[in-house]
Structure 1
Amino acid sequence: MKVSVLDLVPVRQGQSYREAIGSMIRLAQDLDGLGYERLWIAEHHNAPSLASSATQLLISEALAHTERIRVGSGGVMLPNHSPYIVAEQYGTLETLYPGRVDLGLGRAPGTDQQTAMALRRHQIGRETQFPQELLELRGYFEGTNPVSAYPAKGLNVPMIVLGSSTDSAHLAANLGLPYSFASHFAPAMLEEAVEIYRREFKPSKYAEKPYVIIGVNASLADSDAEAEKLFTSQIRMFLGIVTNKPQPLQAPADSMESLWRQHAEERATASPHFGPVAFDPTLLIGRERAVVEQMASVSLVGNSQSVGRQIRELKQRVEFDELMAVSYIFDERAEKRSFELLGRVVLDAG
C-alpha cells in the first residue's frame, strides 16, 4: 500500500500567500525525504484561505525543489480549462521533470457559480462535457487529434479520474484509468463508488487492473490526545466551509469539545431573531456539527497504534491501493511529525 499527500496550500493565521507557498515547498521537500509516493495540489478559486488557484505553477515549484517524489494535480478541474492548454502545460512539466508528473482530473468547477462564470465566461454547464473533454485531452498526448499539442504529443503523463460520486466511478472504469475518491470531505458514496469501479473496470494500455486512491484526513502525534488537539484546526476549516465563513488556518483548540463549546457561544450571540420570538440556535448548531463530522468521518487521528487500527478497519470497509492524506495542522513541525508517523504506520500495514 502506498501513501501520498493532497495539499490545498492553506494560508495559516498570520501568513501571507507567499509564506503559504513557502510552507508548501517545505512540505514537498519533507515528503520527498520521507519516501511518500506523490504530492498532489488541488485547484480552488475565490478561496481566501487557500493559495492553490494556479495549480500548475505550484506543481512546477514543488518539482523544482524536490528530487524523487511525483507531483501532480488533485486535480485539474477540466471544465475550467481548454484541454489543449492543459496538454501543453502538463506536457511541458513532463518534459522538464520526466517520469514525475501526474494529471488528476475532475469535473467540478472547484468554486461557486459566480466564480465559475468568471472562469469560463459563457461556458457554464461544461461539467456534462467532462467525458468528451477527457478523451480530447488524452488525444493530445496520444497524437490522435486533428491538432497537435507540443511538447505533449507522444508523452506518457498518467491520468487519474477524480470524483466524489458514482458517476466518476463508471467513467474511470470504462476508460481503464486509475480512480481517486474524495472521501476526505465527501465520503458518503465511498464504498459504493469503489465497488462499481472495481466491478466495471476494463483493462487498458493505461492500467491493466483497477487502482484506487482514497482521500483521508490525517492527524498523528505521539499521543491520541495531542493528535485530536491538532485535528481541531482541520475541523475549524471544515466549519468555515459549512457556515460560509472561511478564515485562515487557525491554531488548535484545547480539545474538540472546547472547539464546539466556543462555536455554540459564538452562534448564540450572532443568531438572528424572528419577530417577538428569539431564534433558538441549538438545532442549527447541531446540524452544523453533524455535517462537519460527516465530512470528516474518513479520518486517521491518534498515535501510531490507534491509526494502525483505523487503517485496518478502513481496509475492511473498502478495498484501496493507496492513501491520499490531507492535513490542516497549524504548526509545521507537528505537521512533519504527523507525516513521519503516518509513513511508518502505512509501511508496517503493508
Structure 2
Amino acid sequence: MRFGILDQMAQPKQSSAEEVAAETIKVAQYVEQLGYHSYWFAEHHGTKGLVSSSPEIMMAAIASNTKQLSVGSGGILLPQYSAYKVASQLLQLQALFPDRIEAGVGRSPGGSERIRALLADGKPNQQEEYPDKLAALARYLNREGSVRAAPRTKESPKLFSLGLGENSAELAAKLGIGYVYGHFINPYRGEAALQTYQETFTTGYLNNPLARSAIFIVCGESDDHAEELAISQDAWLLQVEKGLDSRVPSVVEVKARSWNEKDRQRIQNNRKRMIIGGPSKVKEELQVLSERYQCDDWLILTNIYDNHEKCMSYQRIIEMFP
C-alpha cells in the first residue's frame, strides 16, 4: 500500500490562515519521516476556511522544507487558466525540485460562477474545453509541438487528471496520463472508473497506467476514539455543503449542537465518502476498497479540528502497512 496526503488546508476555528500555513509545513515534515510518499494541495476559492488557494505556491513551500517528499496539486483548475501558463509553472517547479513534482489538474469551476469568472478574467465558462486544454498541457510538459514551455527540464513532472467517473477515466487513459479518482467526493463510481482507466490506457505521456484514489480517513486509537474525532469533520463537511462557515468546528462545539433529522441523514450519507475507525477497522475497510478498486495508491484527507490528532491518525494508518 502506498500513501500520500491531499490537503485542503481546512482551517480550524480559533486558528488564523497564517497559523494553518505554518502548521501545514510541520505536518508535511512529519509525514515525510513516517514514510508517506507525497503531499498534494487542493485549490479552493471564495471560502472562509479552506486555506489552499494556490497549490503551486504550497508545493514550492513544502518541497523547500522537506528532502524527498513528492509534492502535488489536487488539482489546479485547468479550465480557468492558460494551459501554457500552467505548464510553465509546473516546469519551473520541476527545475527547482527534480523528480518530486506531481501535477494534478481538474475541470472544476472552483466555486460560484462569479468566482469562476474572476479566475478566468471574465472569459466564458470553458469547462467543455477541458479535454483540449488537458491535451495541450500534456504536450507542453512533454516538450512537444512547435511552441515549447520553459524552462526545458530534462524530465517532465508526472501528470494526473482528477475525476469522478468513467468519462474522466477514459480521457486520462486516452492521453496516457495518471488518473486520480475522488472517492471523497463520489463514493459510487470508483470501481467502474478505475477499471475503465486500466482497460483503456494507451501509452502516451506515461509508459504505464498510474492510478490513485483520494478518500477521507480518520484513524483513532479505537473505533470510539475515531468517532469522537470525526464529528468535527462531519460538521465541517455539512457546513461546506450548505455554503456556510467552512472552518472546522471543535468537538466541544459540535457536541453542543442539535441536529435535525435531515442533517443527521446527510451526515450519515457522507460517511460513505470516509473510513472512520480504529486501526483494525480502517485497515480492513481500506483493504476491501483497494481490492474492489484494484488500487493500492491512496491520497488521504483528514479534516478534523485537532492538528495533533490528525498527525496521529496519519501515523496509525501508515504503521498498519509497513
1:27 to 2:27 alignment: yes
Runs of 4+ in 1 over 6 A off after TM superposition: none
> 1:181 matched to which residue of 2?
181
- Which residue identity lines up with residue 296 of structure 1 in the other structure? R
CA distance in 2, matches of 1:343, 1:213: 16
Unaligned runs of 5+ residues in structure 2 are none
Q: 5 Å matches for 1:1-40?
A: 1-40=1-40
1:120 match: 120
The equivalent of 2:199 in structure 1 is: 199
Cα distance, 1:154 vs structure 2: 4.9
CA 1:206–1:90: 2 relative to 1, 3 Å: same
2:227 maps to 1:231: no
2:157 is the alignment partner of 1:157: yes
CA distance in 1, matches of 2:121, 2:36: 39
1:335 partnered with 2:310 = yes
Distance 2:169 2:122 in 1: 29
1:33 Cα offset (Å): 0.7
Match for residue 171 of structure 2? 171
Change (3 A) 1:170 1:318: same
Contact 1:211–1:321 (CA<8 Å) still a contact in 2?
no
| 1:212-235 CA-partner distances (Å, limit 9, x unpaired) | 211111111211111111111111
| In 1, Cα distance between equivalents of 2:294 and 2:40 | 21
Q: After superposition, give the CA deviation of every residue in 1:91-148 in whole Å (9 maximum; x if it has no partner).
A: 1111111111110010112211111011113323211111111121122223323322
Deviation at 1:16, TM superposition (A): 1.1
- Which residue does 1:274 correspond to in 2? none
RMSD, aligned α-carbons: 1.9
**SS at structure 2 position matched to 1:91:** helix
Classify the secondary structure of the residue corresponding to 2:110: coil
2:308 is the alignment partner of 1:312: no
Q: Please give the alpha-carbon distance, in whole angstroms, between the structure 2 residues aligned to 1:36 and 1:14.
A: 29
Query: Counterparts in 2 of 1:46-85, with a 5 A limit?
Result: 46-85=46-85
Residue 199 (structure 1) shift? 2.0
Q: How many residues align?
A: 322
User: C-alpha deviations, 1:140-159, integer Å up to 9, x for none?
Assistant: 22332332221145531100
Q: 1:296 offset after TM fit, Å?
A: 3.2
Structure 1 residue 164: deviation in Å? Answer: 1.4
Q: Provide the identity percentage.
A: 26
Alpha-carbon distance, 1:253 to partner: 4.9
Match of 1:244 in 2: 243
> Structure 1, unaligned stretches of length 5 or more?
265-284
Verify the 8 A CA contact 2:135 2:175 in the aligned structure 1.
Answer: no
**Structure 2 CA distance, aligned partners of 1:223 and 1:159?**
37
On the 8 A contact 2:8/2:52 being kept in 1, the answer is yes
